[in-house]
Amino acid sequence: GLSRDRFGDQLHQALTDSGVDTALAPRVARPSTLAFVALVDGQARYEFFDEGSAGRMLSRADLPDLGSDIDALFLGGISLMAEPCGSAFEALALERAGDRVVMLDPNIRPAFIADEAAFRARLARLMARADIVKLSDEDLAWISGPGDVAGQARAQLERGPALGIVTQGARGARAFTRRHEVRARAPKVAVADTVGAGDTFNAGVMAGLWRLGVLAAPDARARLRGLAAADLTACLDLAARAAAHTVTRPGADPPWTQELPDLPNLPDLPEAP
């Protein structure tokens, strides 16, 4: 949800200027969430003021119907930890799982979890229906406890997803299907701050899959399960390179396609408007 206040207007304008269709984002008469970020050695520390906000107070009734042109849903992060929006997004994902690709990134922040048992149960329901689950190594440890990353990631695939991804910071990322395990290096860059790195990585994964024609395919889950190792590596590499570019400049400012030369051998993405 986008607020009708001046911050919401700024967000709406920024999205419009970037060519984003905001038709599915309801404008509501509630305040915008305020986020304050302090950088310590390039790492972001956050404070959020979110009570009664436009995003947090979304209910299922506020969410618009999805047209046939919507190929995929992405959900995760703090929106699944707060109420009533967490219940609204869960309901939407569970309703649409099966007829659209669903990607889940829990992006677990223990300090924001009011009821750990309820949140773990929500994650279990969503992971069982999601097609793609992306976890950081910290998320994986929170869910499964200490252990071997590959073994734990493959155990998550047994819960339902066709594709599992684990990010490991400077050590890069790994992707798992029942057929393959592939890796992508994290490019070495000068870090300005890490705000938006995970979001950009997720967008890179989805962009790569879209370029391969997977997201719109009627048999998308089967296509995900059957991805060739080279295609899976290309998607992961695109995501890692996009995220690395984002951290070289302040703020959540992901790159345009033309800022990422020599992309993996995938069909073209649109350029900046």
231-270 per-residue burial string, b: 16 or more CB within 10 A, e: under 16: bbbbbbbbbbbbbbbbbebeebebbeeeebeebbebeeee
What mean pLDDT is predicted for residues 10-28? Answer: 94
Q: Global pTM? A: 0.91
pLDDT exceeds 80 at position 117: yes
Domains of the chain with bracketed CATH: 1-62 (no CATH), 67-259 (3.40.1190.20)
pLDDT exceeds 60 at position 265: no
Nearest partner of 150 among 131, 137, 133, judged by Cα: 137
- 86 vs 257, which has greater pLDDT? 86
Output the CA torsion sign for 80, 32, 44, 260: positive
Omega before 84 within 30 of 0, i.e. cis:
yes
- According to DSSP, residue 112 is labeled G
Give the pLDDT score at 264: 59
Alpha-carbon 245 to chain mean position: 17
pLDDT exceeds 90 at position 163: yes
pLDDT, tens only, 143-154: 999 989 999 999
What mean pLDDT is predicted for residues 206-215? Answer: 94
- The torsion of the CA quartet 88, 90, 96, 102, rounded to 10 degrees, works out to 130
Output the CA torsion sign for 195, 16, 135, 109: positive
Kindly state the percentage of the chain with pLDDT values over 90: 76
Distance CA 163, CA 235 (A): 12
Give the pLDDT score at 263: 66
Average pLDDT, the chain: 91
